[in-house]
Structure 1
Amino acid sequence: MEPAITASLLYNLVQCPKRVELDLFGDPAERDEVSPFVSMLWDRGTLYENEVLASGRFTVLDLSGVTDADENERLTLDAMRRGEPLIYAGRIRAAELVGIPDLLRFENGAYAPIDIKSGRGEEGGEDDHDGKPKLHYAVQLALYVDVLERIGFSAGRYGVILDVRGREVRYDLTAARGPKTPLNLWEEYQGSLAMAQAVVSKHVSPKGALASSCKLCHWYSRCVAVLRADDDLTLIPVLGRAIRDAMYDTIDSVSALAAIDPEAFIQKGKTVFKGVGAERLKTFHARARLLTDPYAKPYLKAPIALPVSEVEFFFDIEVDPLRDFTYLHGIVERRGGDNATERFVAFFTENESPDAERAAFSDSIAYLNSVPSATIWYYSKYERTIYRKLQARYPDVCSADEIEQLFDPTRTIDLYNDVVTRATEWPTNDQSIKTLAKYLGFAWRDTNPSGAASIEWFDRWVRDRDPAVKARILDYNEDDCRATRVLLDGIRELAI
């Protein structure tokens, strides 16, 4: 009997089809331990769901205590037949599809699914508007709707995410998503379902692909070993699953790509590979050559003018995305290019209140503006994005124009987007600050340095107020700031 297709299976499939296959059929001995961050996400999700139910906001028929699957399914069907207003932890099934939506709400003579999530209901956008549906949420809701349709209880092709802010975010599964996204969410679901059916039936064995999210997966060590053994194209920075698959029938490995003449695959300014432009192909070829040369060194693709100032600020922030809360602004200050002058300044929220977040933001803004001639260095657009969001949230701290002035590119430089990706190449599998600074010899003090780990530490700090945990958060952020300085100095020394 084939495994059932569940909402959680589709959630994982959207992230990585290979994970679904390994979860179903992989060797458990090859699994890594679940990371503390992932465990925290599970715990926080359960805690938030319990808080919502205990709040008195909803009066529900609670089926969570019915652990026998068949009995729960029978009771859920009975409840829907009699029009129960709100059902919690019911089980619905149609053929190989099994769903356990958090809530089923009686609407328009039928039922709509609601999932309770401890994160935001949408991605992108500013706080409570302009966000877009999350595909991994959408496919879960769509599976519930599909089952409800098949058994005759669907109120329509929509569902609701009850998010961490208590907002009900409606997911219209058939709505158009814009010219750049031709498939609506229902069509995306149908594609995901077809892939899930192929994986579950073993008709398809998906290829793994290296991505930034892989490090949180319990199959990471196993997959990386296989990808390295296969010399997989996704070992090349920014060459993801879709591009690998488009090239695979012609060029199936890093070594094969390194050996080609890119011009042979370019016709009238376009390549023969869907989604890969001529310049991108040349970039991937150059990176493949770096990865296959044991003596390769990083280099500048073109001359670049990097500003020099008496005072430099190396800047990094830490954000808990589930709480949507910025808990640390860290700055390493250096004077005269002398590392001996470095000092770390941290603006940390001693609690998770809006007042604490506002105060830390205000203090950080004041410090960054305290030396108008200083150059500010940071890594990726994230800091600017978060500061725009914080300004909108706390407009009394500063104006939107002041944020734009702070991030004026003549003074404040995104080392990743403005320098690393535009002007350099590295013999590495990615261009993260961790990878490049480690390549240059920098070492983090923590044994598990990552933004995800910092979020888990902050969660512990919120619960326990352990000074050692706070120190760990600060040390990690300081090392991130110093790593940015190490990378800047390293880039200054690169040859063309």
Structure 2
Amino acid sequence: MNESIWYDDLEQFLMCPRRFQLERSMIDESEQIPDSSQLLRLGFSVEKPVLEAEIFGKRFVADPDFAIPEKDGWRLILKKDAKNFKQKYAIEAAYHAYIFSQRGFPVTGVTVRSPYFEVDLDWRNYLPRLMSLLELITTTRDELYDPKPSSLCKTCPYVVECCEALIQKKDLIAIHGLNERTRLRLLREGIEDLQDLVQVQKLKDFSKEMLEKLKKKAQALLERRPILLQPLPSFPEGLFLDIESHVTAGYDYLFGILKEDEYIPFLCEDKDQEGIVFNRVLDFLLSENGPIYHYCAYEPAHFKQLAETYGLEKKYHQMKKRFVDVYQILSNHVALPLFSYSLKSVARYWNFEWRTKLDGWRACKYFQLWLVTREPSLLDTVLKYNEDDVRATRLVVERMKSLSCQKSVTNK
């Protein structure tokens, strides 16, 4: 029988079927799945029960947070951190309940529980939608789904490969920042692919500057190399900053700074410590010279917000002009053979490898688990993830410096 499919896999399929296919191709089919049926037959509540059932010729695994016995069956509990109920939780409820019922453990209801809400669901109402999804995910498909650039690509490890697939098709959607409206405008003027765009000399609905920028982006894709859109600024020596935030608890728990080659973390273990830790971060930054490089607008925006919250505006104003957004410089000055300019995408294009499999959300989960268990390896993993982020930001700056030097040599 084929490898097991968990609900996380089903959710991944809904978000990006291509990534689901790519990740399934690397799974070890010999994995052993625990089975909680004997514990359940004893009639006690079971935490993290695991059951699998064959559906449409595939193995599907249910693993709700709790299974609680009731008079006529079982109630499943799904624990969430979200502040609001999401409709996708209803499909998840139907998924776990259906597998339990298939294994002979009838489910009377499913409760979705969060610190902010509690919703009881009749999972049967969502069964038709679930069965359609299960049938779709088990349909044999030899070829990969086409890439569809979206915000989900920002942290995906397959961006470079997916971009190459679009380049081979000369698809216009491979162009970074190209929205659907602009793509349709190009199509109306007879520009059907990247090659058409590179060769066109004039388009009535596009300014000369806009057309030139689009052509350079298309050229960068077709030639698989970076191309300067305009001269790059200088990059003085400075610091590199990245913040990790605890979204559900509402505070910034880690300020990571790279000074030369030294990684310096400022850790905040709870909301009450945030002001004290932030003040230490400001003092450190003020004791150093040079720009403060960061990737995207999150860091300066949060510094402003934290300074206002904790009465540290004076210190913040002394250094706020030192912030330098590496993403803004890159996107305005360089065309890359990528459709996503997220830090993960760009740094991986330039062969940077993260030492962990985390993203911002998973890092927060690891940190929360460390707060409870104090297991050193959990915190070590979070720190590695944050350190890699600041080192990746530095790499992007170094690559842009190199591009600028190459252009200068070419112009001589």
Fold-level similarity (TM above 0.5)? yes
8 Å CA contact 1:110, 1:154 repeated in 2: yes
Structure 1 residue corresponding to 2:138, chosen from 200, 219, 244 = 200
- 361-370 or 238-247: which moved more? 238-247
Paired with 2:72 and 2:378, the residues of 1 have a C-alpha distance of 52
> Superposed, which structure 2 residues align to 1:412-427 within 5 Å?
412-417=323-328, 419-421=329-331, 423-427=332-336
Give the distance between the partners of 1:107 and 1:364, measured in 2 at CA. 53
Given that 1:103 and 1:114 are in contact with CA atoms closer than 8 Å, whether structure 2 keeps it comes out as yes
Q: Which amino acid aligns with 2:283?
A: A
Give the 3 Å change call, closer, same or farther, for CA 195–19 of structure 1 in structure 2: farther
Distance in 1 (CA, whole Å) between partners of 2:136 and 2:181 is: 18
Distance (Å, rounded) in 2 between the aligned partners of 1:425 and 1:190? 48
> Contact 2:69/2:75 (CA < 8 Å) preserved in 1?
yes
Report the residue type matching 1:11 in the other structure: E
Shift of 1:116: 3.9
Query: How far did 1:173 drift?
Result: 8.9
Alignment correspondent of 2:244: 319
Counterpart contact for 1:381–1:414, Cα < 8 Å: yes
Q: Which residue of 2 aligns with 1:338?
A: none
Identify which of 363, 380, 383 aligns with 2:296: 380
Residue 428 in 1 paired to residue 337 in 2?
Answer: yes
Kindly indicate whether the alpha-carbon contact (under 8 Å) linking 2:355 and 2:385 is maintained by their aligned counterparts in 1.
Answer: no
Residue 416 of structure 1: SS of its match in structure 2?
Answer: helix
1:160 lines up with 2:99 in the alignment:
no
**Structure 2 residue identity aligned to 1:380:** C
Cα distance change on mapping 1:241 and 1:139 into 2, 3 Å: farther
Q: Given the superposition, is the C-alpha separation of residues 471 and 169 from structure 1 closer, same or farther in structure 2, using an over 3 Å criterion?
A: closer
Q: Report how far residue 236 of structure 1 moved.
A: 3.4
Contact 2:186 / 2:192 at 8 angstroms: preserved in 1?
yes
Over 3 Å counting, the alpha-carbon distance change for 1:22 and 1:285 in structure 2 is: same
C-alpha separation in 2, matches of 1:4 and 1:438:
30
Distance (whole Å) between structure 2 residues aligned to residue 192 and residue 407 of structure 1: 53
Distance (Å, rounded) in 1 between the aligned partners of 2:286 and 2:255? 17
Return the letter of the residue paired with 2:311: S
Counterpart position of 2:64: 101
Shift of residue 153, structure 1, vs aligned partner = 5.7
Inter-CA distance 346–190: structure 2 relative to 1 (3 Å threshold): farther
- Listed as ranges, the gaps of 5+ residues in structure 1 are 34-62, 123-130, 175-185, 270-278, 333-341
Query: Cα gap change, 1:135/1:328 in structure 2, threshold over 3 Å: closer, same or farther?
Result: farther
1:368 aligns with 2:303: no
Determine if contact 1:391/1:399 at 8 Å carries over to the other structure. Answer: yes
Number of matched pairs: 378
Distance in 2 between the 1:149 and 1:65 partners?
A: 14
Matched, 1:89 2:27: no
**Any conservation in 1 of the 2:84–2:116 contact (CA below 8 Å)?**
no
C-alpha contact (below 8 Å) 1:391/1:400 kept by paired residues = yes
Please give the secondary structure, in 2, of the residue aligned with 1:114. Answer: strand
**SS class of match (1:330):** strand
Query: 2:273 aligned with 1:346, yes or no?
Result: no
TM-score, normalization: structure 1?
0.51
Uncovered stretches (5+) of structure 2, i.e. residues with no partner: 29-33
Equivalents in 1 of 2:94, 2:211: separation in Å? 37
Matched residue, 2:395: 483
Contact 2:36 2:50 in 1 (8 A): no
Any idea what SS the aligned residue of 1:452 has?
A: coil
- 2:347/2:392 contact within 8 Å kept: no
Matched, 1:7 2:45: no
1:109-120 equivalent positions in 2, closer than 5 A: 113-116=76-79
Superposed CA offset, 1:426-445 (max 9, x none): 23314345666788xx886x
1:452 matched to 2:358? The reply is yes
Query: Alpha-carbon deviation of 1:330?
Result: 0.5
Q: Secondary structure at the match of 2:93?
A: helix
- Conserved? CA contact 2:172–2:193, under 8 Å: yes
Name 2:31's counterpart in structure 1. Answer: none
Contact 2:45 2:68 in 1 (8 A): yes
Paired amino acid for 1:330:
I
CA shift for structure 1 position 19: 3.7
Q: How does 1:98-247 map to 2 (within 5 A)?
A: 99-104=62-67, 113-116=76-79, 121-122=81-82, 131=83, 139-141=91-93, 143-144=95-96, 159-162=111-114, 167=115, 169-170=117-118, 194=132, 196-202=134-140, 206-209=145-148, 211-215=153-157, 229-231=168-170, 235-238=174-177
How far 1:169 moved relative to its partner? 4.6
Aligned residue for 1:319, secondary structure, equals: strand
Rounded Cα–Cα distance in structure 1 between residues aligned with 2:89 and 2:75? 15
Partner-residue secondary structure (3-state), 2:8: helix
The whole-number CA distance in structure 2 between the counterparts of 1:7 and 1:170 is 21
Correspondence for 2:36 among 61, 65, 69: 65
SS in 2 for 1:317: strand
The answer as to whether partners of 2:47 and 2:66 remain within 8 angstroms in 1 is yes
TM-score normalised by structure 2 residue count: 0.59
State the AA in 1 paired with 2:135: Q
